[in-house]
Amino acid sequence: MNTELLRIWTEHRTTALLVTHNVGEAVFLSDRVLVMAARPGRIIAEVTIDLPRPRRLELLQDERFFALAAQLTGLLLHEDVAPEEA
């Protein structure tokens, strides 16, 4: 489904909003990720995903992919960080 969504986006270039609990999926599909805290639900960080397009499955083995996924995971694990500190 992820590669199909990328194909559709490439064809139509329209904005899409994706809600996911999967960090890798967020990095692979997004240009921008908003990280939310659990309770209360609020945005704690915005991370720009500056990976090249078109996105190909080989990207899942790229160091930049891993670094962005680690950054997002760190934000989720330390969600008590204020937005200006993230």
All structural domains of the chain with their residue ranges: 2-77
**pTM of the entire predicted model:** 0.82
> What's residue 60's pLDDT?
94
Rounded to 5°, the CA angle 16-74-25 comes to: 30
In the chain, the DSSP E strands lie at 32-36, 43-48
pLDDT tens across 21-59, in order? 999 999 999 999 999 998 888 999 999 999 999 899 999
Query: Please, are residues 18 and 9 in contact by the beta-carbon 8 Å criterion?
Result: no
The CA distances from residue 85 to 27, 35, 43, 61, 74, in Å, are 21, 13, 13, 29, 13
